Amino acid sequence: MIGLRMNLHTHLEGWVRPSTAAELAISAGVAEPAEGWDAALRMRASGTLTQYLAHVAAAYPVLGSHHAMVRVTREAVEDAASDGTAFLELRAGPTTHVRDDFALDDVVSAMCEGMTEGVASTGMPVVLVLAMLREFDEDAAMRLTRAAIRYRADGVAAVDLAGDEQRFPDLEPFVRAFATARDAGLGATAHAAEAGPAAAARDAHGLLGVRRIGHGSRVARDPRMLDWAAATGLCFEVCPTSNVLTGAVPDLAAHPLRPMLAAGCAVVLGDDDPVTTNAPLSEERRILGDEMGLRTAELAAMSAAALDFAFCDEPTREALRACAH
């Protein structure tokens, strides 16, 4: 047993049910992909991060309305709860879904509404993490941060940086936005050292002020960087199945989770994009024990880290901590 099931790295866009995409496509006048929605949304074999993101993006055309966004957000919460999750950080890139008649605040509001409906029907605590995308300029990053601040009371708890690290490695456009988010009391995390070099994690910490790193797989290739991460108190959000599919690691045996734990780093579990990977949190938890052979003490350390690093208020944290014992 790993302990309390907390999902600290999962993307709304990777939760879209193929059946929901098909229904929303009809109402939105979006053509069905030639290979069908299931094949379009799921990645069956390992490839690159760019290929992986293309599967996630296959859902984007059907998400450009209030009705669609409320529905997919509610269903994501319900599906996570059905999978046995006790706490969910649901991250999303709202700017991707902006349309002429669906402004940024409308997108975020719809996400919050769907989350609220999902929480009401499941009783599971959920927060939203709004992701900036690496192709943003500084103005776009600031617009996203200001929206996150406006919707704090509606469940937005943190900001993230996501996207294609190989094509857009520069962090400078995001420095001011992350500082503004932190000053407003929002949490902050960033995808780094997933497709980029190990030093990208240090850059994300230094420039963006994050204590959590999404994936960070390549840090484990550099022993000095790994020791630095442990001494600094960084937390790595790992998603084993996704990391194999994106090519961040060649296979589960080579996954950096063990070196990270052995170095004394805080590590937490997520399922990244469970429809894309066909591996929700319950499957990732099974993989940790059955296929990666993590020991009880290692699993307990991950559970404790999730409680410590979750983007939630203290009453929620204490309630989760009580459930874990």
User: Domain boundaries in the chain?
Assistant: 6-173+236-247+267-319
pTM of the model: 0.97
Cβ-in-10-Å burial (0-12, 13-18, 19+) of 100 comes to: exposed
- The pLDDT of residue 14 is above 70: yes
In DSSP terms, 158 is beta-bridged to 129, 187
Say which range, 125-129, 135-139, 148-152, 193-197, has the weakest mean pLDDT: 193-197
Task: Kindly name the residue from 75, 165, 194, 284 that is annotated as catalytic.
Answer: 194
Place of tokens 């059946």: 19
Question: Using one digit for the tens of pLDDT, what is the confidence trace for 106-144?
Answer: 999 999 999 999 999 999 999 999 999 999 999 999 999
Query: Is 275 within 8 Å of 15 (Cβ atoms)?
Result: yes
Pick the CATH number of 6-173+236-247+267-319 from 3.40.50.720, 3.40.50.261, 3.30.420.40, 3.20.20.140: 3.20.20.140
Give me the phi and psi of 112, to 5 degrees please.
Answer: -65, -40
Higher pLDDT among residues 154 and 163, named by residue: 154
pLDDT at 228: 98
Strands (E), 71-119: 87-92
**The two structure tokens encoding residue 36:** 């069908």
Question: Residue 84 carries which DSSP code?
Answer: T
Nearest to 111 by CA among 135, 93, 137, 124: 93
| Active site annotation includes 283 | no
